[in-house]
Amino acid sequence: MMQPRSRYRKEGALDHDEILSFVEGRYVSAPEAMWRLSEFNLSHKSYIVVRLAVHLPQQQPIVYQDGQEAQAIERAALRKTTLTSWFELNKNDPSVHNISYSDIPQYYVFYKSTINGKKRQRGGQNVIGRLSVVSILDTERCYLRMLLLRRSGAVSFDDILTVNGLRCITFQQACQEYGLLRVEHVICGFGEVEDVPDLWVKHQVSLCEDFVHLYSEQTGPHYALADIEELLTSYNLSLQKLHLTTIDLPASVLERANFDVVEEQAKANSYTMQLNSEQRNVVEILLSAVYNNAADTLKCYFLDGPAGTGKTFVYSTLLHTIRGRDDDVIPVASTGIAATLLIGGRTAHFVFKIPIDLNATSTCNLKPNTKEADM
């Protein structure tokens, strides 16, 4: 069965829109037509998943329109969530104190995020309560979620914070009192580390070893943290979010870590002294192009000459000079053999993520917010 779309002009002549018919037309096969005419079910759902809210006191999410913030806050103060409804149910019905928050949907019906007090008559075994996932970076909510997965019968947030008659100040402290914050338990159960700064302190020596060797005992940890910062950016994280010391170092730390500035300066001076007049002129022109930001400055040059005339030596002089000034430079060549002639050289396919097999629609697979893109 094909239902094409056609339009008629006022004169009565048929105006068939072929493009519109192709886009909006629909084909219904004979089996599907029979199935729909018989009104058989088009889908089947074996389990019902009830999403359970996880929020801190007076921090439930609010949806509002511009200019109606105050009214939305007033409505939110009166509206119950699945969590506050669970507290109220525990207050009014002591028989449910042995049922956890995640299991309560199996026994009670929720209506518009609240428990209406009506017990399920049947089908409870096919209902799953699911607590919203909370990142360890949202510290207090994450620990509240841990407690809700294990506590039952709580009548308020203060009740959850109370452990053995002692009211804890934070949910993290309550988890600590319950013995839930052993590192191996958190990592195995949630794949998270609850104290990243402590992890950094314990393993700082191992993490900074390479950078201390290249720099010093004082600056090595700074470069290690900057390297970690680069890796975190691809996951939309930062040192600040993990409560680590923020390091203000330029990008491409790994590239710089492979070269010593003082040593590069010495090599640059040595190489420059060995240049002939023509090579020196080329180096000066190229360095001027690198450090001159004027709009009319030429930035693209091609160095041509027979084999053995010192082209690679000119490139090496440029690389040592730029690195000796503590600047970034990435030498790129079209082939691997040519790249090995340059210190720190790489192929264009590697740097720009150019596909090996090229066609008319090929694109570079260089992703934003990555270390390669920053370089």
pLDDT band at 145 (very low <50, low <70, confident <90, very high): very high
Q: Are residue 312 and residue 233 in the same domain, yes or no?
A: no
- Predicted local distance difference test score (pLDDT) of residue 258: 62
Please indicate, yes or no, if residue 24 is contained in any of the structural domains. no
3-state helix, strand, coil in the chain (%, to 5): 45, 10, 45
Least confident of 6-20, 118-132, 169-183: 6-20
Q: Are residue 225 and residue 308 in the same domain, yes or no?
A: no
Q: Are residue 302 and residue 237 in the same domain, yes or no?
A: no
Residues 199-225, buried b or exposed e (16+ Cβ, 10 A)? ebeeeeeebbeebbeebeeeebbbbbb
Please indicate, yes or no, if residue 184 is contained in any of the structural domains. no
d(Cα 101, Cα 146) in Å, to the nearest integer?
11
Burial class (CB in 10 A: 0-12, 13-18, 19+), 362: exposed
Please indicate, yes or no, if residue 320 is contained in any of the structural domains. yes
Q: Are residue 271 and residue 172 in the same domain, yes or no?
A: no
Q: Are residue 122 and residue 203 in the same domain, yes or no?
A: no
DSSP sequence for 110-144 = EETTEEEEEEP-S-GGGEEEEEPP--TTSHHHHHH
Please indicate, yes or no, if residue 252 is contained in any of the structural domains. no
State percent of the chain over pLDDT 90: 6
Residue finishing a domain among 149, 178, 207 = 178
- Predicted local distance difference test score (pLDDT) of residue 148: 92
Picking from 50, 55, 5, the residue whose alpha carbon sits closest to that of residue 26 is: 5
Q: Are residue 161 and residue 215 in the same domain, yes or no?
A: no
d(Cα 119, Cα 126) in Å, to the nearest integer?
14
Q: Are residue 171 and residue 235 in the same domain, yes or no?
A: no
Q: Are residue 142 and residue 201 in the same domain, yes or no?
A: no
Whole-Å CA distances, 322 to 272, 329, 338, 342, 358: 12, 7, 20, 14, 33
Please indicate, yes or no, if residue 301 is contained in any of the structural domains. yes
d(Cα 196, Cα 242) in Å, to the nearest integer?
6
pLDDT band at 144 (very low <50, low <70, confident <90, very high): very high
Tell me how many degrees the CA angle 122-127-128 measures, rounded to the nearest 5. 155
Domain region containing 290: 261-352
Q: Are residue 65 and residue 164 in the same domain, yes or no?
A: yes
> Residue 186 pLDDT more than 60?
no
**Backbone φ, ψ for residue 76 (5° rounding):** -65, -35
d(Cα 137, Cα 39) in Å, to the nearest integer?
49
Token duo for residue 301: 């040059």
Q: Which of the two residues, 201 and 216, has the higher pLDDT score?
A: 201
Q: How many CB atoms lie within 10 A of CB 263?
A: 12
Q: How many domains does the chain have?
A: 3
Please indicate, yes or no, if residue 26 is contained in any of the structural domains. no
Q: Are residue 238 and residue 173 in the same domain, yes or no?
A: no
Q: Are residue 65 and residue 95 in the same domain, yes or no?
A: yes
> Residue 257 pLDDT more than 60?
no
Query: Do the beta carbons of residue 152 and residue 99 sit within 8 Å?
Result: yes
Please indicate, yes or no, if residue 272 is contained in any of the structural domains. yes
pLDDT band at 114 (very low <50, low <70, confident <90, very high): low
State percent of the chain over pLDDT 70: 82
Q: Which of the two residues, 264 and 351, has the higher pLDDT score?
A: 264
- Predicted local distance difference test score (pLDDT) of residue 38: 92
* Eight-state DSSP code of residue 152: B
Least confident of 6-15, 102-111, 248-257, 306-315: 248-257
Please indicate, yes or no, if residue 207 is contained in any of the structural domains. yes
| CB proximity list for 177: less than 8 A, separation 6 or greater | 163, 164, 166, 168
Q: Are residue 269 and residue 316 in the same domain, yes or no?
A: yes
Task: Give, for 372, the enclosing helix (H) or strand (E).
Answer: helix 371-374
> Residue 115 pLDDT more than 50?
yes
Whole-Å CA distances, 49 to 111, 149, 172: 14, 16, 28
pLDDT, mean of residues 215-239: 77
